[in-house]
């Protein structure tokens, strides 16, 4: 009797819960989830084979019809960052470290003195929206070349000023990484200007990454350190980025 | 019910791919609605208007006298959809939990399953297409001149629920299956790819073809709605034309035809 009652209740719960039936299949360490996640390797390999070093589409001034929508962190609160905003980032330094022969510490003046690239591109958020803006900055490849990467370097890791989350062990600062193929792509720039003005705080001042062939979350804002590494295992939970550690694709070309 | 001989109508590959597509489309649709929930509006153009309005469809929620209301806007017309769209189970979410995979809000999981089944669909479609081109099945799906001449009569027969059970598909079946396989699914795949910033670098012309990424996203959604329409009619036809015979044919390949001189 009890079993029958349980069965009926279970059936009713199943009917009510709709798609909850499939939720267990996507639990964190389930074999099925591993299978679903395997698409990322195939997607990355296929896209890399198709796009090579091709450029993301670029647009015209007439296509800029609105401001760039800020998302994620929009106003970092750390004391060090606050102080810099009051002095127009005079004391800002971009550190390039890790597997390099010539570590760098570059001021905004140093960065703007380097040759720059300007591009009008579409920013695609993982949520589904798009926004077109003009970005100006120094090609990341040029900055890396200054630092002379060692032959063992495979990834560029970006460390940021913005605490995106506060948990039991303290503040989690945004981190992201790309491989050196994307790092040396001509459209991959460290942007310091947007739509003809210095980069606003909401959009990542003083320096943010643009990786035009991937989604918005790859384009770390408030970057203070670029670290070249040969592995992503030591970073966060080991997937290579704040959002990848939370279930999103590390390769965000789709 | 048909009384004629059994004929072998669907070969093994057609039956396997049929069911793989059915499962894939089920997951693609429900994970797609999960993904849609992250930004539940559809726009026309290169980008989504925030400072200007280029939306043709949006699901939102708003507070009216302390009560939350679900609102659906279609081409400027507003409908209250509390309980289904915008607000469901007391939660602000565009598409209700019963229609998304996973049921709770998880864009990351929705995307992961969506792209997995997108690959399954693309690969099985390609295999089926090549095999069907070689084994002649493709020709069985494309209406002939004689088929098109029979179209008015076939429409009349269907309207009267008088179905012929032949060894080959009738013209409405051919048109329906061909429009799913050669129009709707390719359109889904191409508009899906148009949303990929990586693929945009490979084929920027696709964006121009569809009129921009956000228009492609809108077409992707509308084609999904059309596929649901196909599914509803498909199910109705199975029930009306003899569910046991139809199910036997898509499971085993064997289909009982009408007796007499009808082929």
For chain A, the domains span 25-54, 57-246
pLDDT digits (tens, 9 = 90+) for A232-243: 999 999 999 999
CB atoms within 10 A of CB A211: 23
Residue range A57-246 forms a domain whose CATH class is alpha beta
Q: Which CATH class is domain B6-40+100-256?
A: mainly alpha
pLDDT in tens, B219-248: 999 999 999 999 999 999 999 999 999 999
In the prediction, which pLDDT does B105 show? Answer: 95
**Contact in structure between B45 and B215 (CB atoms under 8 Å):** yes
- pTM of this prediction? 0.94
CA-CA-CA-CA torsion sign (A243, A249, A253, A254): negative
Alpha-carbon distance values, A232 to A158, A175, A227, A229 (Å): 12, 11, 11, 7
Q: Is the pLDDT of residue B141 over 80?
A: yes
| Closest CB to B201 among A38, A56, A63 | A56
Of A91, A166, A106, the residue nearest A140 (C-alpha): A106
Best mutation target among B84, B109, B217 (most A Cβ atoms within 10 Å) is B109
What is the predicted ipTM? Answer: 0.93
- pLDDT, residue A169, reads 83
What gap in Å lies between CA A10 and CA A15, rounded to an integer? 9
Q: What is the pLDDT of residue A6?
A: 54
| pLDDT of the residue at B83 | 95
Query: Tokens for B59?
Result: 């699901």
> What is the average pLDDT value for chain B, to the nearest integer?
95
* Helix ranges, A18-78 (H): 31-37, 39-51
Q: Do B38 and A128 touch (CB under 8 A)?
A: yes
**The pLDDT of residue B191:** 98
A222: phi > 0 → left, psi -120 to 50 → alpha, else beta; which? left
**Tokens 């999981």 sit at which residue?**
B109
| Stretch B194-201: mean pLDDT | 98
Q: By the 8 A CB rule, do A128 and B55 touch? A: no
Domain locations in chain B as residue ranges: 6-40+100-256, 41-94
The answer to whether residue A2 scores a pLDDT higher than 90 is: no
Token pair for A50: 């198709």
Residue among A19, A25, A49 with most chain B CBs within 10 A, to mutate: A19
Q: Which residues of B touch A126 (CB under 8 A)?
A: 38, 107, 111
By three-state DSSP, how is residue A184 classified? Answer: coil
Question: What pLDDT is stored for residue B61 in this prediction?
Answer: 96
* Segment A135-190, tens digit of pLDDT: 999 999 999 999 999 999 999 999 999 999 888 888 999 999 999 999 999 999 99
């Amino acid at each position: 009797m009890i079993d029958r009652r349980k069965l009926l209740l279970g059936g009713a719960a199943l009917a009510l819960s709709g798609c909850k039936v499939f939720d267990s299949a996507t639990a964190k360490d389930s074999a099925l989830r591993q299978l679903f996640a395997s698409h990322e390797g195939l997607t990355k390999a296929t896209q890399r084979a198709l796009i090579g070093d091709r450029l993301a589409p670029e647009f015209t001034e007439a296509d800029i019809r609105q401001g760039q929508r800020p998302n994620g962190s929009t106003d970092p609160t750390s004391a060090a960052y606050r102080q810099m905003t009051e002095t127009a980032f005079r004391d800002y330094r971009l550190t390039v470290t890790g597997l390099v022969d010539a570590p760098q510490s570059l001021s905004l003046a140093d960065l703007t003195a380097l040759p720059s690239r300007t591009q009008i591109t579409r920013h695609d958020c993982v949520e589904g929206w798009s926004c077109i803006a003009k970005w100006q900055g120094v090609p990341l490849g040029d900055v890396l070349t200054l630092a002379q990467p060692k032959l063992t370097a495979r990834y560029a890791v970006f460390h940021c000023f913005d605490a995106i989350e506060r948990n039991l062990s303290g503040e989690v600062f945004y981190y992201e990484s790309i491989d050196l193929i994307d790092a040396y792509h001509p459209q991959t720039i460290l942007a310091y200007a947007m739509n003809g003005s210095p980069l606003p705080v909401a959009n990542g001042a003083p320096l943010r990454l643009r990786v035009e062939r991937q989604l918005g979350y790859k384009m770390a804002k408030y970057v203070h350190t670029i670290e070249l590494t040969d592995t992503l295992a030591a970073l966060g939970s080991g997937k290579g980025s704040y959002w990848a550690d939370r279930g999103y694709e590390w390769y965000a070309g789709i | 019910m048909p009384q004629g001989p059994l004929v072998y109508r669907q070969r093994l590959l057609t039956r396997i791919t049929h069911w793989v597509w059915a499962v894939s489309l089920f997951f693609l649709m429900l994970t797609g609605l999960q993904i849609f929930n992250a930004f539940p509006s559809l726009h026309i153009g290169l980008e989504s208007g925030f400072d200007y309005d280029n939306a043709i469809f949006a699901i939102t929620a708003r507070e009216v006298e302390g009560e939350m209301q679900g609102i659906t806007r279609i081409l400027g017309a507003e409908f209250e959809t509390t309980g289904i769209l915008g607000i469901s189970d007391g939660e602000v979410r565009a598409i209700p939990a019963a229609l998304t995979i996973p049921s709770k809000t998880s864009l990351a999981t929705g995307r992961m399953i969506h792209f997995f089944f997108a690959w399954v669909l693309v690969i099985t479609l390609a295999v089926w297409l090549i095999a069907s081109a070689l084994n002649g099945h493709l020709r069985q799906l494309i209406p002939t001149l004689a088929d098109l001449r029979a179209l008015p009569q076939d429409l009349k027969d269907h309207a009267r629920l008088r179905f012929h059970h032949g060894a080959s598909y009738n013209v409405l079946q051919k048109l329906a299956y061909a429009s799913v396989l050669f129009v709707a699914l390719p359109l889904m795949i191409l508009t899906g790819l148009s949303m990929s910033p990586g693929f945009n670098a490979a084929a920027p012309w696709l964006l121009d073809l569809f009129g921009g990424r956000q228009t492609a996203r809108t077409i992707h959604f509308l084609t999904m709605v059309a596929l649901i329409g196909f599914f509803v009619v498909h199910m109705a036809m199975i029930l009306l034309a003899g569910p046991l015979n139809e199910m036997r044919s898509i499971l085993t390949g064997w289909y009982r035809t009408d007796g007499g001189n009808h082929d």
